[in-house]
Amino acid sequence: MSGPLLKVEDLRVTYRAGRRAVEAVRGVSFAVARGRCLGVVGESGSGKSSLARAILGLEEDVSGRVEFDGQAVLALDRAGRLAFRRRAQMVFQDPLGSLNPRRKAGAALAEVLRVHGLAATRAEAAAQAADWLETVGLDAAYADRFPHEFSGGQRQRVNLARALCVGAEFLVADEPVSALDVSVQAQILNLLKALQEKRGITWMLIGHDLAVMRHMADEVIVMKAGEVVERGPAEGVLACPAHPYTRELLAAAPNVGRALDRRAAGAAV
Ligand SMILES: Nc1ncnc2c1ncn2[C@@H]1O[C@H](COP(=O)(O)OP(=O)(O)O)[C@@H](O)[C@H]1O
Ligand SMILES: [Mg+2]
């Protein structure tokens, strides 16, 4: 099917506490084409996570329109929402916080597969779980490990496997490498890029490092105080940002982008 996979129009997210209301997202519109990566950048508090959660139906007070594969997401009934949540998954910053500490990686994946009716037997679920671990670059034998027995980067891989195993076509990665060592960040980002290329995954990458975005994203939107202040092809926005706020973000970019630069240079030789 042609047309963007995700289309967001005039999205607004409000948080209310008593008589106070904070409008965290103020009329954001964009589209993400199939198989592409949209980067969402902006300083802390600019509304990136609120935007992400609203798109996935995890926020209460939302207005505007979210269209996924031609369907209006905000108006879906329970069954429709369940189907949507299988196709659209979130990957969070803290992989330890989103994994059950008492469940081995293989069992966690197998459970998800069984719950969604994707494996008929335990043995089938275990075999699929092992395949997914290999898909994200882990040894199948790691199925027997508990979350605390993995490194941070490995845990994020398990998280990715869990998101993908239900058949996700769209991933929202909210600062997926911010909690990881710099040396590991590039590995996880490259895995995401490979999944985009090999499996046609469409995704939204949320982060504050514009140098990383240049490598990962096709298009970027720059958020400030709940609004999009700049948008365009990642290369263009980064080569010559039009907005002074984007220039500030660019100047503050840490060194992961440079690590990726070195990798890219190495690969080209
Ligand atoms: N659950 C919440 N209740 C009240 N205010 C919130 C909540 N979550 C976020 N906010 C506020 O909304 C704004 C945007 O936050 P957030 O979407 O988390 O930004 P970012 O992800 O860019 O750091 C901030 O002012 C934040 O304080
Ligand atoms: Mg956030």
Per-residue pLDDT tens over the stretch 70-97:
999 999 999 999 899 999 999 988 767 7
Tokens of 9: 């129009």
Question: Do the domain assignments include residue 226?
Answer: yes
C-alpha 158 – ligand 2 centre gap (Å): 21
Q: What is the pLDDT of residue 211?
A: 78
Nearest CA to ligand 1 atom 16: 47
C-alpha 73 – ligand 1 centre gap (Å): 22
Query: Which distant-in-sequence residues (6+ apart) come within 8 Å of 23 by Cβ?
Result: 12, 13, 14, 226
C-alpha 46 – ligand 1 centre gap (Å): 8
Domain that holds residue 200: 6-102+146-268
Nearest to 86 by CA among 117, 59, 63: 117
Q: What is the pLDDT of residue 137?
A: 96
Query: Which distant-in-sequence residues (6+ apart) come within 8 Å of 96 by Cβ?
Result: 147, 148, 152, 155
Question: Do the domain assignments include residue 246?
Answer: yes
Question: Do the domain assignments include residue 122?
Answer: no
pLDDT along the chain (269 residues), means of 10: 90 96 97 97 95 95 97 92 92 80 95 92 96 96 96 94 94 92 91 93 90 90 97 90 89 58 47
Assign residue 159 the CATH number of its domain: 3.40.50.300
CB 103 within 8 A of CB 111: yes
Nearest CA to ligand 1 atom 11: 24
Nearest CA to ligand 1 atom 12: 24
Question: Do the domain assignments include residue 88?
Answer: yes
Nearest CA to ligand 1 atom 25: 45
CB 89 within 8 A of CB 163: yes
Total domains, the chain:
1
Question: What sign has the CA pseudo-torsion 74, 76, 82, 83?
Answer: negative
The pocket around ligand 1, CB under 6 angstroms, is made up of: 15, 22, 24, 42, 44-50
Protein residues with C-beta less than 5 angstroms from the ion ligand 2:
49
Tokens of 99: 């994994």
C-alpha 49 – ligand 2 centre gap (Å): 4
Q: What is the pLDDT of residue 248?
A: 87
Give the ligand 1 atom nearest the CA of 206.
21
> In the 8-state DSSP scheme, what is residue 140?
G
Nearest to 157 by CA among 205, 192, 115, 107: 192
Give the ligand 1 atom nearest the CA of 226.
14
Question: Do the domain assignments include residue 132?
Answer: no
